[in-house]
Structure 1
């Protein structure tokens, strides 16, 4: 291969809600993979790989996720392309995606020597420019919370308003007033009430809601950081 040739890769920031080890409240986590070759052998990095010769970008991103983490997310969105000349010893352009996964999808990710979950805001130093990529992805996620229904991508088909509020609190890093949150949800058409309620718990049954199938999780947002 020509040393000056540009290679095309895909990387994905996977984000899920899992309990914080200290508080037990929902927190943002992401799985990272350990590199087994140079450069950065032994370092943690985002899951990804090369774009296949016969694959489109979306297909490559999904395939590399299955190969490295076993995740097959419902929500996979292209974020940005990173192509700084000095981001890799050889010239590599990475098309970056993010996958927001609910608990059932997150449960298939291994947690071992090769793949490990980390708190999204407390991860170790990453290979290449992946620290910058993660920072950008989290900024985009928090920005989108204000104008889309992307929070529901973290939840299953049915959820309570308390669970939905927990997503917002985990992503935004702040406590929300339950009554105000309920009013805001009632004024929107992002979620729809069902006739189902929770059962089997110690507390009073809570109504279950579902996402509005007529709305997408997110629309196109700003592509540059402030």
Structure 2
């Protein structure tokens, strides 16, 4: 035994943000290019250290997102994704990161700021496949964020938020295919959607088609939690997907 007083380890606290949106019918994640070491010039999630011991962690996440990408943080609903604290995840020392997730439609182009050399949307499938070099353990964090988004589409009506005020079932299916990264059978998808009461409701009119019959239009229904859920089928890769 020793009489030396216990000295707590030095641990730094950071935040990272996984922001997902659909662009050109593909799932994209917001990344910045780091302008400083470590991992200078590598892609990374927006984020950084708390400013001071009294700063709220969620407030720090909003601040970092605003500083590094100039996005309007008030339009985003952040939820905590997880805590990442492997001892070797950051070469600067022991850093524990609290990751946040936001999923929103029609997000604008970001503008880089502070220590970010650039900021922009990157296709999620390219990021997850390893085509881009990422700093720290950010590929793992993004993979967790994408999986959370995929589960949300199974159990909630989130997909309708990525459609217009009125939409066709084919347009809704395109959202599921983009986020899940798989091709869906149209007939099975139609049956599942129609079986989920309150998910979508008829909009009372149809959209003229260039050829064939006019497409029925729908709008988001009152149900926010889907029962039965829209369970993902076994994956069959689509072009450009995982």
2:97 to 83, 91, 94: 94
- Structure-1 residue corresponding to 2:108: 107
Aligned to 1:76: 78
Contact 2:27–2:179 (CA under 8 A) maintained in structure 1: yes
2:20 aligned residue = 15
1:210 corresponds to? 220
Question: 2:65 is matched with which residue?
Answer: 65
Counterpart for residue 44 of structure 1: 43
Aligned partner of 2:171 in structure 1 is 163
Q: TM-score, normalised by structure 2?
A: 0.72
Distance 1:172 1:65 in 2: 26
Answer yes or no: is 1:121 the counterpart of 2:125: yes
Structure-2 separation of matches of 1:155 and 1:178: 17
Question: Which residue is equivalent to 2:196?
Answer: 188
- Residue 34 of structure 1 deviates from its aligned partner by 1.1
Per-residue CA shift, 1:11-68, capped at 9, x if unaligned? 111111122xxxxxx2111121011111111111001122344543333223322222
Q: Which segment drifts farther, 184-193 or 30-39?
A: 184-193
Once residues 183 and 148 of structure 1 are traced to their aligned partners in structure 2, the CA distance between those partners, rounded to angstroms, is: 17
Partner of 2:151: 143
Given the two structures, how large is their TM-score scaled by the length of structure 1?
0.76
SS at match of 2:82: strand
5+ residue gaps, structure 1: 20-25, 218-226
The alignment's C-alpha RMSD in Å is 3.1
- From the superposition, tell whether residues 87 and 9 of structure 1 become closer, same or farther in structure 2 (CA, over 3 Å): same
Does structure 2 conserve the Cα–Cα contact (< 8 Å) formed by 1:79 and 1:96? yes
Counterparts of 1:202 and 1:107 in 2: how far apart (Å)?
A: 31
TM-aligned CA distance change 1:201 to 1:64, over 3 Å: farther
Determine if contact 2:16/2:46 at 8 Å carries over to the other structure. yes
Tell me which residue corresponds to 1:178. Answer: 186
The match for 2:27 is 28
Deviation at 1:130, TM superposition (A): 0.6
Contact 2:61–2:100 under 8 Å retained in 1: yes
Q: Which moved more, 1:63-72 or 1:38-47?
A: 63-72
Number of aligned positions between the proteins: 207
Larger Cα-atom Rg: 2
**Structure 1 residues 8, 57: closer, same or farther in 2, change over 3 A?**
same
Please tell me whether residue 6 in structure 1 is matched to residue 11 in structure 2: yes
How has the CA–CA distance of structure 1 residues 139 and 192 changed in structure 2, closer, same or farther, with 3 Å as cutoff?
Answer: closer
Q: Is the 8 A contact 2:17 2:100 kept in 1?
A: yes
